Structure 1
């Protein structure tokens, strides 16, 4: 008997609704609709357009119901991390959610660390320090005594807000809550002590629920809390076999490089390396580091396309491949590359500021961006093995970014590890697996990953390391320039 599940998968640049059909032990996907997502600047503030997202989600649900009728079993939503909406006492959204790239968190590290030392924040949360984290967003609202914040009744993370609009039920799904930097992965509850010391309201948070929990329904269709953070869903879809020692890379606008552990690693070494312990599905921990990903390439393309250089992704790969290797080195995780803007000029300025000269052609700029990402992966990979105490023989890359075969090959070259790619629709697939788990159609995460291996074998590609000596030397040069 065929069963159909609807995944709503919202990344930081696009959204989609996808129906997964489960039959004879295999999962097949069909896209219902795809739509733009991204920041819109209004008078100096970057907002998300949640009404636009909700309208497109409703359209996707309607299309799925029309095509699959009573065979549609349930649905679930995953999104990017850290962002949220404030709900007033009447249950209404108090203001449009602000994008994590907005400048309102500037200076909030200092405000937080004045009250609670950095080491104590990490001890209570185990989360990587990024000024975009929810903790610093709430701190900014508290410092400015925001009217909406002061009068809010609840705070709901992005997937929880959309689920609330569908079902009327307010919950905090655990994987998305763990991205906030005020969730404690050891106690498995909110870090109330930390919040109280910071003067941040502790009455805003909804009841925590695990992925695989049925929240409510929309017109009779059950809504399941899946791995609400898209990386949690993506990691769930990595088709590892039992006993396999692999690193995971979820490749999209962001690159999330890490591995799956049974318990968090919270110590001075992890703090110094700025790694993170986010919650995964089925009582796992995503031990990883958030890295800049395809964002830098997306911004390059956007900038050039406004100048009537209508580059395709394939054309950009080809240009980078043809340029001279290791001519310029950049660190894509540098804060200069974090926000929207003139990315080509920023790369040029970075190279000039670090004494390398100035890349002038588009091909040179692209080559620096590609190699910078691969060398950032290699640098992080070494730290991951050291901190986790594991030898990780394979790098498994999932998500839309794994379709970039040049970056896949460079990642293999830079890390010196075999790279295995796929599935490309990892977040949606992991979302679907947790729906199947909630409905009792699979009994474990391992069983879900077996379904994924059986279903998407044709998407698997393998890249073996090449030019090892050249890439080792390049990594030394990159560290000397970018970590000086």
Structure 2
């Protein structure tokens, strides 16, 4: 899923590589709901259901990736409580400004650049507006995990998507301080690495927890890079980066 279109493809292992055939690509755009800009859940979930139909017909598994940071809230029964708010919503800037005094400490603990759309600020905005969402009985799920859960798979958190939240510590576990600063508790279970079957949908389709962050999937698909090589991923915006053994989280990288 992309921020301007959603598509699904059929992948087939041929020798040592995977051959993809794009089956459908459909544009979508956010909707205005009251004072907020929200995602069109019917469009996103509809595409996932059509992809599942293809998986059933082909006897295949289903994996879902998407852009980072955006999420939805599900209640005790697993139902979506409201449409996911779009990362471009102005309320996130307000939360970003309100927590400005914590930006440096957040960076040192997560290595994530300062952006008002990071999930930590989105959650701060939602919890300020709707305190009832900040409850042990309510779970927030990043979009790929949310779509899989709405198809019937168990809820959880995947590592590459968790890395976009600014709630993940440098050690790959939830950062307790970042949650404390927005008066929230970390999820009961930690982020899981990609590459395993998360469970089955309500229709019996095996759902694989792939690298859910679309940029991470694209970069890992490149294979290993040399010491003097970088990558440029072009999508809704362009991301230039390096593959490192450990994240950079010091004052010099923060200033850059």
- Tell me whether the two structures share a fold, i.e. TM-score over 0.5: yes
Q: CA RMSD in A?
A: 2.0
Which residue of the other structure, out of 43, 49, 53, is the alignment partner of 1:52?
43
1:433-448, aligned counterparts within 5 Å? Answer: none
Separation in 2, partners of 1:112, 1:142? 14
User: How much does 1:32 deviate?
Assistant: 2.2
Q: Distance in 2 between matches of 1:271 and 1:225?
A: 31
Aligned residues: 255
Structure 2 CA distance, aligned partners of 1:146 and 1:46?
A: 19
Indicate the SS of the match to 1:123. helix
Q: Does 1:214 align with 2:205?
A: no
Q: How many angstroms apart in 1 are the aligned matches of 2:16 and 2:179?
A: 46
Q: Relative contact order: is structure 1 or structure 2 higher (C-alpha 8 Å, sep ≥ 6)?
A: 2
Summarize the Cα distance change of 1:183–1:202 in structure 2 as closer, same or farther, 3 Å threshold. same
Aligned to 1:272: 255
Q: Which one has the bigger helix percentage?
A: 1
Candidates 71, 81, 85, aligned match of 2:72: 85
Shift of 1:212: 0.7
Shift of 1:108: 1.8
**C-alpha contact (below 8 Å) 1:213/1:224 kept by paired residues:** yes
4+ runs of 1 displaced by more than 3 Å?
A: 145-152, 203-207
Structure 2 Cα separation of the partners of residues 179 and 98 of structure 1: 16
Deviations 1:308-351 (A, max 9, x none): xxxxxxxxxxxxxxxxxxxxxxxxxxxxxxxxxxxxxxxxxxxx
Shift of 1:124: 0.9
Q: Distance in 1 between matches of 2:110 and 2:227?
A: 28
Q: How far apart, in 2, do the equivalents of 1:138 and 1:247 lie?
A: 32
Secondary structure of the corresponding residue to residue 160 of structure 2: helix
> How far apart are the structure 2 equivalents of 1:62 and 1:136?
36
Residue 6 of structure 2 corresponds to 15
Query: How big is the shift at 1:151?
Result: 7.4
1:137 aligns with 2:128: no
Q: Which residue of 2 aligns with 1:336?
A: none
Partner of 1:200: 183
CA distance in 1, matches of 2:3, 2:184: 27
Unaligned runs of 5+ in 1: 1-9, 274-484
Bigger CA radius of gyration: 1
Aligned residue for 1:228, secondary structure, equals: coil
Gaps of 5+ in 2: none
Q: Normalized against structure 1, the TM-score is what?
A: 0.50
Please give the TM-score of this superposition, normalised by the length of structure 2. 0.91
Residue in 2 that maps onto 1:157: 142
Equivalence for 2:22: 31
